[in-house]
């Protein structure tokens, strides 16, 4: 599952290596490859200033989590004579190198099972104890505590450190929908009259079938779809409302007025709301899918983990977590005190802000779910049904 950065603000790291410190063979280094736009540059600067010794920091933003996952795979493959194709040329300080020497990498929670199964990452040994108490909800601990097969296991190891999260939302053109006399509040609104061929949905079976399951009072992580009455019928009805499916280009048609509603990831949607006042977004009241960006440690890295642990802990400090939330327009697993002046009004209903009804947001969060690993047989059901209704 691929989430793309869209119109990322200038407050976040540009797609170029950000380096602090001077050279020196014996100088301590922290090398991080991260999702572009997920960490503000000033946060890295503050971390560097707070260190008690001379340290060289190398933070290399990468466009997509999919590329970061492939990079993890590439590090574990045996070298080939001719192995410099396509996307690899655009990964910073990786050209021609097969051995991982990066301390931390951003990975989405959806990719965590595959990364563990394929032995691409190793547990975060130092993030096992008291640090976890900082998380605002124990679901974060449960999400990253897994066995060696990548499945949730309370007796397992901690494989990732979440530093921001978001959700799947409905984004809509308020002008067009006001003419119809309503604005969306929940998934069921996607089936309303008057919006046939006006909706774009993500081109993802788990997301689309998941929202229909949610409408029917079921879980996103339902394993046996054959046992859900009316699921296919509801999907067919929804498909009649859809103009196209896309995981990349669903906002541009909405901005231009070609579509009136879209289902998308908050990491894409939030950056554009302040620029296009005709757009608004809502988290469906019955709950939605949640995603999280995590720090993971590549397999085979034997460097001292001190700097990595310091960086993870720094991201979990309340002031730092607040900056990450506000500047990257996301939420934090750490409780933060975000006030009205910190964020734009269009974002109040989507971020954990003190100026909005926190209790309502909490209720929606409690109804929401991570897209957890499913058995191969269940994944095949999702893919088959999704392909069938799109015909």
- Which tokens sit at 79? 């070298």
Residue 10 maps to a domain: no
Instruction: Kindly report, residue by residue over 343-386, the tens digit of the pLDDT.
Output: 444 444 565 544 344 555 667 778 899 999 999 999 999 999 99
b/e burial code for range 343-370 (CB count within 10 A of at least 16 → b) = beebbbbbbbbeebeeeebeebbeebbb
d(CA 43, CA 62): 17
Torsion, Cα of 219, 372, 205, 349 (10° steps): 70
Nearest to 167 by CA among 63, 267, 249: 267
Radius of gyration of the chain (CA): 21
Contact 108/293 with Cβ under 8 angstroms? yes
Residue 63 lies in a domain: yes
Q: What is the pLDDT of residue 361?
A: 61
Reported as type and span, the H/E element at residue 289 is strand 289-298
In a domain, 7, yes or no: no
Phi, psi (rounded to 5 degrees) for 117: -60, -40
The CB-side HSE value for 303 (13 A sphere, CA atoms) comes to 21
SS (H, E, C) 310-373: HHHHHHCCHHHHHHHHHHHCCECCECCCECHHHCCHHHCCCCCECCCCHHHHHHHHHHCEECCC
Which tokens sit at 284?
């469906």
Q: Do both 188 and 215 map to the same domain? A: yes
Tokens of 126: 């130092």
Residue 69 has pLDDT above 60, yes or no: yes
Give the pLDDT score at 236. Answer: 97
pLDDT tops 70 at residue 99:
no
Percent of the chain surpassing pLDDT 90: 60
Q: Do residues 244 and 268 share a domain?
A: yes
Q: Does 26 share its domain with 127?
A: yes
Full residue range of the structural domain in which residue 77 is found: 18-165+291-347
What's the mean pLDDT in 3-23?
39
Band of residue 185 on the pLDDT scale cut at 50, 70, 90: very high
Domain for residue 131, yes or no? yes
Indicate if the pLDDT at residue 180 is higher than 50.
yes
pLDDT at 274: 81
Considering the domain architecture, whether residues 140 and 212 belong to the same structural domain is answered as no
Q: Do 364 and 341 fall within a single domain?
A: no
Query: Sign (positive/negative) of CA torsion 101, 107, 109, 112?
Result: negative
Q: How far apart are CA 391 and CA 378, in angstroms?
A: 21
More confident residue, 360 or 172: 172
User: Do 98 and 62 fall within a single domain?
Assistant: yes
What is the per-residue pLDDT for 333? 85
pLDDT at 3: 42
Question: Are 185 and 259 found together in one domain?
Answer: yes
Mean pLDDT of the chain: 83
213, 314: one domain: no
Residues 151 and 285 in one domain: no
Same domain flag for 230 and 85? no
pLDDT value at 20 more than 70? no
Whole-number percent of the chain with pLDDT over 70: 77
Please check whether residue 12 lies inside any domain of the structure.
no
Q: Can you spell out the DSSP letters for 173-221? A: EHHHHHHHT----SGGGGG-TT-TT-EEE-S-HHHHHHHHHHHTT--TT
60 and 205 share one domain: no
**Three-class DSSP labels, 1-32:** CCCECCCCCCCECCCCCEEECCCCCCCEEEEE
Q: What is the mean pLDDT of residues 115-140?
A: 75
Sign of the CA dihedral running 273, 279, 335, 144: negative
| pLDDT of 10 over the 80 cut | no
CA dihedral 355, 357, 361, 362 (to 10 degrees): 110
Q: Is residue 139's pLDDT more than 90?
A: no
In a domain, 146, yes or no: yes
Q: How many domains does the chain have?
A: 2
CB 330 within 8 A of CB 270: yes
pLDDT digits (tens, 9 = 90+) for 206-253: 999 999 999 999 999 999 999 999 999 999 999 999 999 999 999 999
CB 55 within 8 A of CB 48: yes
- Round to whole Å and give the CA distance between 250 and 370: 22
Could you tell me the two tokens for 226? 């054959």
Q: Is 356 contained in some domain?
A: yes
CATH of the domain at 69: 3.40.190.10
Predicted pLDDT of residue 131: 54
Q: Which residues contact 312 (CB under 8 A, 6 or more apart)?
A: 104, 124, 127, 131, 161, 163, 295
Q: Are 106 and 33 in contact (CB under 8 A)?
A: yes
Q: What is the pTM of this model?
A: 0.83
> Is-contact 59 32, C-beta < 8 A?
yes
Asked whether residue 11 is assigned to any structural domain, the reply reads no
- Segment 161-190 shows an average pLDDT of 93
pLDDT exceeds 50 at position 12: no
pLDDT for the residue 164:
92
- Band (pLDDT 50/70/90 cuts) for residue 133 is low
Structure tokens at 341: 């002046």
Please tell me whether residues 214 and 269 are part of one structural domain.
yes
| Cβ–Cβ < 8 Å for 107, 67 | no
């Amino acid at each position: 599952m691929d989430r793309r950065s869209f119109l990322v603000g200038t407050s976040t790291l540009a797609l170029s290596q950000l380096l602090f410190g001077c050279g020196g063979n014996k100088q301590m280094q922290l090398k991080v490859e991260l999702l572009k736009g997920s960490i503000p540059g000033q946060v890295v600067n503050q971390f560097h200033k707070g260190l008690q010794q001379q340290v060289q920091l190398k933070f290399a933003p990468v466009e997509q989590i999919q590329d970061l996952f492939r990079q993890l795979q590439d590090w574990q493959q045996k070298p080939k004579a001719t192995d410099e194709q396509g996307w690899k040329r655009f990964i910073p300080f990786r050209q021609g190198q097969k051995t991982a020497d990066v301390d931390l990498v951003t990975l989405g929670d959806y990719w965590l099972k595959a990364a563990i199964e394929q032995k691409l990452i190793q547990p975060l040994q130092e993030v096992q104890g008291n640090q976890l108490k900082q998380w605002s909800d124990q679901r974060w601990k449960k999400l990253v505590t897994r066995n060696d097969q990548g499945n949730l296991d309370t007796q397992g190891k901690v494989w990732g450190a979440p530093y921001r999260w978001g959700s799947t939302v409905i984004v809509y053109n308020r002008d067009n929908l006001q003419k119809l006399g309503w604005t969306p509040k929940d998934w069921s609104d996607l089936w309303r009259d008057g919006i046939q061929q006006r909706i774009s949905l993500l081109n993802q079976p788990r997301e689309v079938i998941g929202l229909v399951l949610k409408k029917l009072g079921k879980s996103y992580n339902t394993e046996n779809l054959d046992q859900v009455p009316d699921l296919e019928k509801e999907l067919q009805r929804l498909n009649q409302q859809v103009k196209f499916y896309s995981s990349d280009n669903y906002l541009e048609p909405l901005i231009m007025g070609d579509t009136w509603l879209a289902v998308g990831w908050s990491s894409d949607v939030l950056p554009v709301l302040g620029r296009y006042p005709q757009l608004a977004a809502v988290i469906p009241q019955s709950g939605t899918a949640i995603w999280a960006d995590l720090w993971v440690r590549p397999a085979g890295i034997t460097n001292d983990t001190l700097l990595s642990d310091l960086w993870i802990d720094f991201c979990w400090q309340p002031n730092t977590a607040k900056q990450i939330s506000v500047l990257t327009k996301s939420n934090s697993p750490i409780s933060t005190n975000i006030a009205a002046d910190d964020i734009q009004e269009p974002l109040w209903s989507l971020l954990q802000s003190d100026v909005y009804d926190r209790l309502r947001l909490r209720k929606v969060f409690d109804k929401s779910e991570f897209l957890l690993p499913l058995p191969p047989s269940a994944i095949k059901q999702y893919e088959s049904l999704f392909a069938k209704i799109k015909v």
